[in-house]
Structure 1
């Protein structure tokens, strides 16, 4: 799932990733919106991913994955939204838009577009 944040930085988006590898915590900020959390992450160069806490009351800005062999993996997998500039859809107007596509671990993406034809009558 890619989510575009065009109102802040064009070309930055987030994809959903489930992992059990812990990440460094950059900061924890009170919020209830995933989009708000992503906007804060986009503005912070140290932030590489975001997640909301389980109560959805705090945004956790995350840094790099912790890969030292002495580190244990998390007990349960968790979902983060990883910041990227690859595969983002550029907005076509000044209005706020979002786009989604799904990804697999092999980085293959699939996009679905639904178009509803308009009807007009003349008389």
Structure 2
């Protein structure tokens, strides 16, 4: 039983050690004083993917990295950058994956074309099925 106690304690402690002990960034959980700037920042944050959670935007995620990214977006918007400039900087730094709306290029064209191909294939298969039932 003692042999299992230490590995079990370490396994249970791993999630608790996932975030650092550092306090959150200044603008991670607070809004900008200018409502127009905050609205632009909030709209942008909804379109950026959390690099830790992957399925959530940085606006919805409680991950420490998402908080840092929210603070970064707010500070850049407060400094006068446009949302497109901030998005461009983040894409340059983290790649197209950080955006929920990746641009059309040679690496992402399957993401844009594949849904249309699958819908066309489904319509073609359904048409064939309905034709067989009529005869």
Which structure would you say has the larger RCO, counting Cα contacts within 8 Å and 6 or more residues apart?
A: 1
Name whichever structure is richer in helix by fraction.
Answer: 2
Same fold (TM over 0.5): no
Q: What is the TM-score when the length of structure 2 is the normalising length?
A: 0.23
Over alpha carbons, which structure has the higher Rg? Answer: 2
Q: What is the TM-score when the length of structure 1 is the normalising length?
A: 0.24
